[in-house]
Amino acid sequence: MSDLHQNFIAGEWITGAGVTRNINPSNTNDVVGEYAQADSAQAATAIAAAKAAATGWARSTPQERYDVLKKISDEILARKEELGRLLAREEGKTLPEGIGEVTRAAQIFAFFSGEALRLRGDKLASVRPGVEVEITREAIGVVGLSRRGIFPSRSPPGKLHRHFATAMR
C-alpha cells in the first residue's frame, strides 16, 4: 500500500476529508498512490490562502517571476525520469510517452519564464483627439484548476504558465 499524499493548503500539508486511490489503468493491481480529497471547507481555506498570496505575487518583479518559473522548469527536467515513470503508471502510457510529456511540461515553464521578462502592452489610436489608449496586463485574482485528461502534466502548465508570467501590478 502506498503512503497518503496530503494537500498543500496555506503552507501546510493537510490530510483531506476523504481519500482517493489512483489505480494504474494498465495494471489494476497497481495502486499508484492514495491522495487526500478536500471537502468544501478545505477548498475555501485553500482559496483564501491563494487570495492572500496573490497580492505578493502581483507585486513581484518580472525577474522574480522568471526565477520561480525557471526553477520549476529546472526541477521538472532534473526529475523527468522519475516523473515520467510515475506518469506512465498513472495514465497507462508507455515510458517514453510519460517522459516526453514531462519534458514538454518543463519546456513550457521554461518558455514562459522568458515571457515574464518581456512586459508587453499595446498602445492604440483613439477616436478622440489628445487621448491615448494603453492596454497592459494585470493580475486579477485567483484561478482554480482541476484537470485530468490525455496530457495531465502538460495541460495545467499549458493554461496557467502565461498567467504566472504576466501577473503585473
* pLDDT at residue 121, rounded to an integer: 82
Eight-state DSSP code of residue 6: P
User: Are 154 and 98 in contact, with CB atoms under 8 Å apart?
Assistant: no
3-state DSSP: the chain helix, strand, coil percent, rounded to 5? 50, 15, 35
Q: Mean pLDDT, the chain, as a whole number?
A: 85
Which strands make up the sheet holding 4-5, listed edge to edge? 4-5, 31-37, 18-23
User: Are 37 and 19 in contact, with CB atoms under 8 Å apart?
Assistant: yes
pLDDT in tens, 56-79: 888 889 999 999 999 999 999 999
User: Are 54 and 26 in contact, with CB atoms under 8 Å apart?
Assistant: no
Amino acid at 5: H
Query: Who has greater pLDDT, 149 or 134?
Result: 134
Residues 70 and 106: their CA atoms lie apart, in Å, by 9
pTM of this structure: 0.75
* pLDDT at residue 166, rounded to an integer: 56
The answer on pLDDT for 168 being more than 50 is no
> Which residues does residue 9 pair with via DSSP β-bridges, in sequence order?
12
